[in-house]
């Protein structure tokens, strides 16, 4: 009689059950990573927006002859200014790439994440020369 090599059906079923249990345990961790990635994307855009808005203000301050409501040009883009800060309508021009976001230019301006959820960054124009408000809304991510 020949000796047979291989696994029995019971051994294969047990391995499949163990793999299923491991996958069910790891799945919640991976689904939470999606939400964390969305929030990190929003925070990255908000930080970039704050920096770019400050650069637009600095550009206006160092350019001779410009008043606080005069437009500035950055990277070939015209940015309308009010109270020395970018307006909500043209704030998207301070950023070179907003791929993955849709932009709405009403005050407050909104950068909404395309990949799902109610995830957005809002830019509220400056009032009386104060720093404009850049807020992250991630409750629906």
Residues across the chain: 141
Which has the minimum average pLDDT: 24-28, 72-76, 78-82? 24-28
State pLDDT tens for residues 16-59.
999 998 888 877 777 678 888 899 999 999 999 999 999 999 99
Separation between Cα atoms, residue 127 and residue 92, nearest integer Å: 19
Structural domain spans, the chain = 12-140
Look up residue 64 and give its two tokens.
């001779």
Question: In the prediction, which pLDDT does 136 show?
Answer: 96
DSSP symbols for the chain? -PPP-S--HHHHHHHHHHHHHHHHHHHHHHHHHHHHHHHHHHHHHHHHHHHHHHHHHHHHHHSTT--TTS-EEETTEEE-EETTEE-TTTGGGG-S--TTEEEE-SSSEEEEETTSSEEEEEEE--STTPPPEEEEEEEE-
């Amino acid at each position: 009689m020949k000796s047979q090599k291989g696994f029995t059906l019971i051994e294969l079923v047990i391995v499949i059950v163990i793999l299923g249990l491991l996958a069910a345990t790891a799945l919640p961790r991976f689904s939470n990573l999606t939400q964390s990635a969305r929030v990190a994307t929003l925070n990255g855009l908000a930080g970039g927006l704050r920096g770019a808005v400050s650069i637009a203000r600095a550009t206006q301050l160092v350019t001779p002859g410009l008043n606080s409501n005069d437009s500035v040009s950055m990277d070939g883009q015209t940015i309308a200014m009010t109270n020395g800060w970018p307006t909500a309508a043209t704030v998207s021009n301070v950023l070179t790439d907003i791929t993955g976001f849709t932009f709405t230019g009403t005050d407050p301006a909104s950068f909404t994440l395309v990949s799902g959820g109610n995830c957005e960054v809002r830019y509220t124009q400056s009032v009386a020369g104060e720093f404009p408000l850049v807020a992250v809304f991630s409750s629906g991510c």
